Amino acid sequence: MIAPGEASHNDVILATEHLSRVVGGVTLVNDVSVEIHTRELVAVVGPSGSGKSSFLRLLNRLDEPTSGTVTFEGLDYRLIPPRELRRKIGMVTQRAYLFPGSVADNISFGPRQRGEEMPPDEIDGLLVHVGLPGFSDRNVANLSGGEAQRVSLARALANSPTVLLLDEPTSALDQEAKIGIESLIEKIVQQSQLTCVLVTHDFEQASRVADRVMVFQAGRVLRVGSATEVLHA
Amino acid sequence: MLNMFFRGPLQLGIAQAAVTALAAMIVVLLARSRNIHLESDLALALLRGAVQIVAVGSILGILLRSPRWTGGLLLAAMILAAGTISRRRAKGLPAAFEISTYAIACGAGSVIAVMTLLGVIDTAITSLIPIGSMLIANAMNTNGLTLNRFRADVIAHTGEIETALALGAAPKQSVAPYSEASFEASLIPAIDSLRSLGIVWIPGVMAGMLLSGASPFYAAIYQFVVVAMIFTASGLTSLVSTLLIQTHAFTPAEQLVIRPGLAIQ
């Protein structure tokens, strides 16, 4: 992680410009312009329905902005083929949504989409990284919630993304699993030098892990700053 | 026995219809004795059914005297009608009418065309229209089942599909398990028809041919031919339908448009 305010404008990896999304007359995201810097962990917090997840889905273009755009590595992301963009901007959701089969099948899913076979030692290495050594041949049907979420993280990391979007990754887990995943995320961001955008409704979690916090309300960014500045404002 | 009293085909037909309607009414009376009231429903259904079938018979009577090329026009109109009806089963799916019409035209239309060229289906309207309509009707049902199942599966597995997209999967790859399942499920009736042919049911074509005095052996063979054509037309329809819906289920930016609670864009 980097210290708040350490990042300069030159290392902006992801930026939104007047980003909005309106569906059926309802504004989900309203004119959001923010910058996210390389190797930064930004937490997006706010009450339910404030537009946090809708904002996150716009960042990897799972949804289309109604107006405004996103620049990724200085390029308007509409100029990047969607599959290439999504490989570089990985995503982990609240539920793991593992595909039927083994843990190894799931982890190698991303590389397989572009015709690359992942060597077993690479899969094992990723599993060690997420704290599941020896889980390669396990059937995903037999995993606990916390284990499934770790596999989901490893699966996203198998694409070697530069940005990782995390949508409430711990909200469906019990306290023990939640703390485990939280420290895993911190470790991965540090070791893999990833940029990370974490959506959470848990202000304490945001203050524990994030370099910067964005507070969302009614689809707008209300405040941005360090956790101390924003959460105690 | 009726033919002892009614000599002309029209009088005989009316008498036969009256006898069968009377039999249906007896069932209604039996139901009434158990406090189940079907009188008004049956009266309306009998009247509606009789009017519809007489109208169709009259139109067929005119068409049978028409030149052979009108058969093609009539089949094209049937395909359009089938596309419209099938669309209702795919409510909420993008381009449902276009997908249904193309799929039925490719599935049933191509089988009718090829089999007519090969001489399996006679070009006479008396053969082309009944056989063609059977293929179109079955293709329509298959298409409806395909789209209905696909929509239900996609809505139930939005999370899995979007996870696959987020991992860099191609749209077709992300919905492949659900398009395969809808293809398989839609062909169950056609496969069961082939499997049970002659054991569980002796279908209409064979019954009609036997009634009109055809050799039972030829009638049986031709019934197999018809059921095999139905399977081919249904399979092709479902294949085209799943291919097309896979494309229409996503935006050009590879975003899923069939989502629970989301307006189709």
CA distance A194 to chain B (A): 16
pLDDT (tens digit per residue) in B164-184: 999 999 999 999 999 999 999
Identify the CA nearest to B128 among candidates B169, B179, B75. B75
In degrees, rounded to 5, the angle at the alpha carbon of residue B213 between the alpha carbons of residues B7 and B115 is: 130
Count of Cβ atoms closer than 10 Å to residue B65 Cβ: 9
- Put simply, the answer to whether A113 touches B255 (Cβ < 8 Å) is no
- Put simply, the answer to whether A84 touches B168 (Cβ < 8 Å) is yes
**Six token digits for residue B201:** 């049911």
Chain A interface includes B263 (CB < 8 A): yes
Identify the CA nearest to B53 among candidates B28, B80, B16. B16
Identify the CA nearest to A99 among candidates B148, B178, B250. B178
The reply to whether B73 and B44 lie within a common domain is: no
Which single residue is written with the structure tokens 């887990």?
A173
Identify the CA nearest to B144 among candidates B99, B80, B204. B99
Strand A41-45 to A212-217 pairing: parallel
- Find the distance separating the first CA and the last CA of chain B, reported in whole Å: 64
Which of B41, B65, B89 corresponds to the end of one domain? B65
The reply to whether B174 and B81 lie within a common domain is: yes
Q: Which residues pair with A14 in a beta bridge?
A: A36, A72
Work out how many CB contacts closer than 8 A connect A with B.
Answer: 62
User: What is the DSSP-derived secondary structure letter of residue A139?
Assistant: B
**pLDDT at site A7:** 46
- Put simply, the answer to whether A91 touches B166 (Cβ < 8 Å) is yes
pLDDT (tens digit per residue) in A191-223: 888 999 999 988 888 988 899 999 999 999 999
- Put simply, the answer to whether B165 touches A93 (Cβ < 8 Å) is no
The reply to whether B72 and B61 lie within a common domain is: no
Minimal-distance CA residue of chain A relative to B253: A82
Who's near A166: CB < 8 A, 6+ residues apart?
Answer: A91, A92, A185, A196, A197, A198, A199
**Which residues of chain B does A70 touch, with a Cβ-Cβ cutoff of 8 Å?**
none
| Strands (DSSP E) found in A24-83 | 26-32, 35-37, 41-45, 67-72, 75-76
**pLDDT at site A107:** 97
Rounded to the nearest 5°, which phi and psi values hold at A21? -140, 125
Identify the CA nearest to A185 among candidates A54, A90, A52, A71. A90
- Put simply, the answer to whether B253 touches A114 (Cβ < 8 Å) is no
Chain B interface includes A160 (CB < 8 A): no
The reply to whether B7 and B100 lie within a common domain is: no
CA–CA dist B206, B209 (Å, integer): 5
Chain B interface includes A11 (CB < 8 A): no
- Put simply, the answer to whether B167 touches A64 (Cβ < 8 Å) is no
Count of Cβ atoms closer than 10 Å to residue B193 Cβ: 19
Say which amino acid occupies B77: A
The reply to whether B18 and B101 lie within a common domain is: no
pLDDT (tens digit per residue) in A67-110: 999 999 999 999 999 999 999 999 999 999 999 999 999 999 99
The reply to whether B86 and B195 lie within a common domain is: yes
The reply to whether B100 and B53 lie within a common domain is: no
Chain B interface includes A113 (CB < 8 A): yes
CA distances from B144 to A142, A182, B241 (A): 36, 47, 9
How much is the pTM? 0.82
Give the pLDDT band (50/70/90) at residue B261: low
Chain A interface includes B58 (CB < 8 A): no
Count, residues in chain A:
233
Q: Which residues pair with A76 in a beta bridge?
A: A71
- Higher-pLDDT residue of B227 and A34 is A34
Contact A171, A204 (CB under 8 A): no
- Put simply, the answer to whether B167 touches A78 (Cβ < 8 Å) is no
**pLDDT at site B3:** 74
Contact A32, A22 (CB under 8 A): no
Count, residues in chain B:
265
A193: left (phi over 0), alpha (psi -120 to 50) or beta: left
Domain limits for position B6:
1-65
Q: 16-75 in A: which are within 8 Å (CB) of B?
A: 23-24, 60-64
Contact A68, B154 (CB under 8 A): no
The reply to whether B96 and B39 lie within a common domain is: no
ipTM: 0.92
Q: 169-188 in B: which are within 8 Å (CB) of A?
A: 169-170, 173
Which of B40, B65, B90 corresponds to the end of one domain? B65
**Which residues of chain B does A109 touch, with a Cβ-Cβ cutoff of 8 Å?**
164, 167, 169
Minimal-distance CA residue of chain B relative to A161: B167
**Which residues of chain B does A78 touch, with a Cβ-Cβ cutoff of 8 Å?**
253
- Put simply, the answer to whether B159 touches A97 (Cβ < 8 Å) is yes
- The mean per-residue pLDDT over the stretch B51-68 comes to 80
Contact B53, B14 (CB under 8 A): no
Strand A67-72 to A35-37 pairing: unpaired
**Which residues of chain A does B180 touch, with a Cβ-Cβ cutoff of 8 Å?**
none
The reply to whether B103 and B207 lie within a common domain is: yes
The reply to whether B74 and B56 lie within a common domain is: no
- Choosing among A66, A112, A113, which should be mutated to test the B contact, i.e. which has the most B CBs within 10 A? A113
By Cβ distance, the residue of B163, B256, B263 closest to A93 is: B163
The reply to whether B51 and B100 lie within a common domain is: no
CA–CA dist A126, A135 (Å, integer): 11
**pLDDT at site B201:** 61
**pLDDT at site B265:** 34
pLDDT (tens digit per residue) in B186-245: 999 888 888 877 766 666 666 777 777 777 778 778 888 888 899 999 999 999 999 999
Which of B49, B65, B81 corresponds to the end of one domain? B65
CA distance A182 to chain B (A): 21
**Six token digits for residue A230:** 């924003």
By Cβ distance, the residue of B166, B251, B263 closest to A60 is: B166
Which single residue is written with the structure tokens 């039999």?
B23
Q: Which residues pair with A19 in a beta bridge?
A: A32
**Which residues of chain A does B170 touch, with a Cβ-Cβ cutoff of 8 Å?**
83, 113
Chain B interface includes A78 (CB < 8 A): yes
The reply to whether B85 and B189 lie within a common domain is: yes
- Put simply, the answer to whether B253 touches A82 (Cβ < 8 Å) is yes
Count of Cβ atoms closer than 10 Å to residue A197 Cβ: 26
**Six token digits for residue B34:** 């158990």
pLDDT (tens digit per residue) in B96-121: 999 999 999 999 999 999 999 888 88
- Long-range contact set of residues B194-201: C-beta below 8 Å, sequence gap at least 24: B194/B227, B194/B228, B194/B231, B197/B223, B197/B224, B197/B227, B198/B223
Number of separate domains in chain B: 2
- Put simply, the answer to whether B253 touches A60 (Cβ < 8 Å) is no
Who's near B211: CB < 8 A, 6+ residues apart?
Answer: none
